[in-house]
Amino acid sequence: MSPTQSLWIVFFSFFSIQCSAAQDPCLQGHFMELDNLLKRSPTYTQDSTPLCDRYITEGWYRARDHVMSTSAPLLGKCGTLYPVWLKDPIPGAGEKQTLTACQIGFNENCASSYNIEVKNCTSFLVYNLKALSSCNAAYCFEHDNDCVNTSVENAQVSFHNVTWTTVVAGILKQYDPYVNLICSFTPVDDDTLLYHINWYVDNSTLIKSQTVDRTSSQNVILSAKDIHNAGKKIGIWILCTVGVKKPEIELPCSSTSSNLFFAGIEILNPTLTIERQGQATLKVRPTIPFAAESIEMNGIQSNSSLSIQLSFRGKDTEQKCKASGGFTDCEIKIPSYKYNERQKYEDPVNWRKDYTMEIFNSDEEDYYLADHHLVLQLKTNRPNGNGAKIFNEAEFSDVNVNVIESQEGWKGKRCSSYIDPHMTTFDGKIYECQAAGCFPGKTYILYRNDDHLQEVQVRHTSCWKYPRCVCAVAARSGQDVFTINFCDQNRYINFPICRDHSMKVIKESDITYKIIRPEEGRQCPENIIFPTGTFAKLKVYKFTSWYINVEVYPTVADFNRTCGLCGLLDDKKTNDFRRKDGSISSSNPPNDFSISWSLDSGDTEDLLSMSQTVYDNLTPLSTYFTKLCTCDDGNTHCSYKKYRECKTDVRGKEYHCILHSSSRKKRDLEYFSTVQHSEPQSDTVTKREARRKRQVISVSEAQDTCYKAFQQSSLYETCLQVVPNFSNESVLNCISDLSMTGEENLTQTHLNIALSQCQAYIVLNSTLEKEQPTLSEIMINLCPNNCSNKGLCSGGNCTCDYGYGGSDCSFDVLAPPTITRISDGGVCDKTEEPCDDITLYGEYFLENMGTTCYLTRKEMTETNITASEESYTVDLEERTLFEGYCRLEYSQTNTWSTTFQFKISNDGTQFSEIYSVYVYQSQCQIFNNDTGSVYFTLQDGYCYINGSCVQRGGLKNNDSCFQCDPDKDIYDWTQGRRIEYLP
């Protein structure tokens, strides 16, 4: 043998020895420790978290002082359903053999088998375990030493007590409580035995082990600190296992398990059923007390409560808006006791209480429920203290809300008042409210729902001699009122009062109002929307004057709750003409019914009286309703609104309750309530009407004209065929009006009304939208009045011909808007309001017209001398057809007063008259008007320094005022600026 061969033999022998040693499963580090040995005992019955070795990591395992059972255990033992035991005998010392392991079945001890390797390492055994073929099957192991053949009874987990830690820092004392659970059991009689306790949390996670004797069994405690250190929070299932053992044995052979204990706050009714617009009560109950840090300062202790907040699943805003739920309380408050009240934790009566949250269904603006099933979640806040960390941001199981609908009699209903006026009740009763029913100048209750404190009132004027037209509308919800008033030549569109902030008004265009339905880019009918989702759809139009068409679309909240000219909504026509006193009118036309819903002059219910006294006497929603709140990632938003609200890309903006300061709003209201025009209100032909020469036509001619116009509209014919609740009501109204007035322009008005009705029904009916997508798309994108045949329609918007403007191209825009007055006569007091803009009243202020305000700002001295002058332009911003405003921009220099002069123009060539605005501060300045010359003087006892009013007694020695001369004002021009010293 050559030296090279010898070397190779030595190397190969050494390599073989090393490989053999590396593969020896008896060596430390070459085997894993098997877990859950106590539960693998043949005496341990399967619990709620059975063992499963289907996903075990294959490899060599040691079981410490346990060996694999060599006799067949019972079904359901060894902590699982199907135990696996070793059928063959254990190999001798140092030997390794492949043995047969059997799985217990329902009727046999070896329903299936596995080949596993077993090696006897002399002092212990190692097993090469394989993953089992099914779950609820596990390997069975038992103790290989002498076992204690007894077990404890009555093992259970329960709340034990609250312990406190104290930290003192100066005058502050911090008391931090920790909740403790106890594993209690009945010990055996032998005092020499010990008890081994394991604490398990969720899916058999072992978080703590303890060994105690009989006398220290009361110390088997699991604290909030143990739970927090294990990364767990409330809402967990806990159990303890108790095994009896001899002192010389490391672990017991078998253990007794307690029942599962839920530690946290349990939801008592995780599934709720709510009727549409109904409510249900969610109930929760703590199983352990909530204890938060208590802080003591100067002998006074304070602490925090646990806030359980409820929100929609997920964070997507659109999905939240589509959900059907709302809440009066966005959170449940669970209090904790202060350190000096700690004895209250000893009696569960003090903390184991039911806490509730009222949940409302608020999906009521659509004909059909958007969601019949809603999933809500509970989540806690972050209370103070280390002991309370197990309560931090804990998430609860889902709350399932099923919304059912038992009342459908309101669907497809509409109350309306068109033109002269043609009336239709909610239940479809058609009648006329002419000379003997709707008197000019009187206010009528059109719709009222007393249960929800909401209503619509109307006032009429004469139009075309005998007919009546609505010239004013007031919509009210609690202490919110929105008004459009054209009667007696008024031009008022505003909120005269807005205290509950419950109504939503969307101004779609110059002449329409609308809401935004939370569907992608969809347009909805123009309207005022009430808290319940009921909305009043308004459309203004002009003939000899401005008039209003009114429609009210109800929701389930109105069923069996309405009164007024709209009648009782109960799906029955027979009782629609119910008078205010409750009796039913049988006359036709029902003039006595109409008159019964009129309000006398000076009536305290008259919302159109423009009386502050009337508005102040309105009942607020807060006296009847709790605010409805929604929660969004911890932020709570509360109002009385129950309708859904999402942002989309649809044109139109919300018409806010507060358009400008409350003081100016009050003065504007006083102006409109005192300035009344004396337009004659009689049944005789007015002078204006007399000048209109028109030929009253016959009924047959009116029929020909109206039918021809309506039949030429393919959209109208399609609506009649496919849209439920849509009828030929508008055609009949057209014939009636045309034969009575001879006003052929009314034909197009009635056709527009019909198409608008069709549009409203389609938008509200989500099922119809899906069934008729082409018609829905066309109807939703209709342009107002077909752009008055003076422009092109695209996507619901008009592009007007030259010289015409407005949403429907019906306005002459070559001349500038007419200004009839400006707010407060052009005087603005910065003491009361910011004076950021000046409001203009007149006609017409149109959207997207590019109207420009040309302003000159003059900074005035106290001697009424112009210190500086600068001109600038800003866009005029419209609020309504009759109201707009120009923004006021100020210089950086603080001067005595500021005067703005402005004019407006649509095209930069034709201008309005020039108006002036004077800005001052009434706190220290006095307004003076000397035959048109406006100036301001200083009030006694004040200095005016750097744009601020300062009382002389409050002056200090600083950069603005070094001293006061008792005889005269001193002016210092140092440091490049003027400094005033005033006595």
pLDDT at residue 689 greater than cutoff 70 = no
* Cβ-contact 597, 445 below 8 angstroms: yes
pTM over 0.85: no
583 CB-near residues (< 8 Å, 6+ apart): none
Q: Does the pLDDT at position 42 exceed 50?
A: yes
Q: Tens of pLDDT along 78-103?
A: 999 999 999 999 998 889 999 999 99
Residue found by looking up tokens 């929603």 in the block? 621
Measured CA distances, 761 to 408, 711, 719, 767, 941 (Å): 15, 20, 10, 11, 66
pLDDT of residue 903: 93
Per-residue pLDDT, averaged over 360-368, amounts to 59
- Distance separating alpha carbons of residues 206 and 216, to the nearest angstrom: 21
Q: How many CB atoms lie within 10 A of CB 85?
A: 22
pLDDT tens digits, one per residue of 703-748: 888 888 888 887 888 888 888 778 778 888 888 888 777 777 788 8
Q: Which residue has the higher pLDDT, 777 or 706?
A: 706
Residue with tokens 């390797």: 117
Note the pLDDT of residue 93: 85
Counting every residue, how long is the chain?
983
Strand intervals (E) in 651-761: 653-654
At residue 787, the 3 state secondary structure works out as: helix
pLDDT by residue (tens digit) across 402-412?
A: 888 777 788 88
Quote the Cα angle for 740-741-747, to 5°: 100
Q: What confidence tier does 499 reach under pLDDT thresholds 50, 70, 90?
A: confident
The phi-psi region of residue 905 (left if phi > 0; otherwise alpha if psi is between -120 and 50; otherwise beta) is beta
pLDDT of residue 60: 95
- The residue type found at 728 is N
CA dihedral defined by 74, 77, 81, 83, rounded to 10 degrees? -70
Closest CA to 886 of 831, 816, 933: 816
Residues above pLDDT 90, as percent of the chain:
37
Q: Where are the beta strands (DSSP E) in 583-728?
A: 598-599, 628-632, 635-639, 653-654
- The long-range contacts involving 710-716, CB below 8 angstroms and separated by at least 24 positions, are 710/734, 710/751, 710/754, 713/751, 713/755, 715/755, 715/758, 715/775, 715/778, 715/779, 715/782, 716/751, 716/754, 716/755, 716/758
Q: How far apart are CA 908 and CA 854, in angstroms?
A: 9
Tens of pLDDT, residues 573-587:
999 999 999 999 988
pLDDT confidence band for 509 (50 / 70 / 90)? low
Whether 255 contacts 198, CB under 8 Å: yes
Q: What's phi and psi for 735, nearest 5 deg?
A: -65, -45
Q: Strand pairing partners for 472?
A: 459, 485
Please say if the pLDDT value at position 621 is more than 90: no
Tell whether the model's pLDDT for residue 261 goes beyond 90.
yes
In this predicted model, what pLDDT tens digit does every residue of 864-916 receive, in sequence order?
Answer: 899 999 999 999 988 888 888 999 999 888 889 999 999 999 888 889 999 99
Q: Give pLDDT tens digits for 172-196.
A: 999 999 999 999 999 998 888 999 9
Cα–Cα distance measured from residue 628 to residue 153, given in angstroms and rounded to the nearest whole number? 52
Short-list 285, 286, 284, 277, CA closest to 359 = 277
Contacts 24+ apart (CB under 8 A), 864-873: 864/933, 864/935, 867/893, 867/895, 868/893, 868/895
Can you give the pLDDT at residue 312? 54
Alpha-carbon span 933 to 770, nearest angstrom: 67
Token pair in block for residue 666: 């009050």
Kindly report the average pLDDT of the chain as a whole number: 80
Give tens-digit pLDDT for 338-360: 999 999 999 999 999 999 888 77
The identity of residue 843, as a single letter, is: E
Q: How many CB atoms lie within 10 A of CB 576?
A: 25
C-alpha count within 13 angstroms, C-beta hemisphere, residue 437: 24
Locus of tokens 């969720």:
202
Among 550-554, 633-637, 916-920, the minimum mean pLDDT is found in 633-637
Q: CA-to-CA distance for 147 and 914, rounded, in angstroms? A: 107
Q: 3-state class of 60 per DSSP?
A: strand
CA gyration radius for the chain? 42
pLDDT tens-digit map of 272-284: 888 877 778 899 9
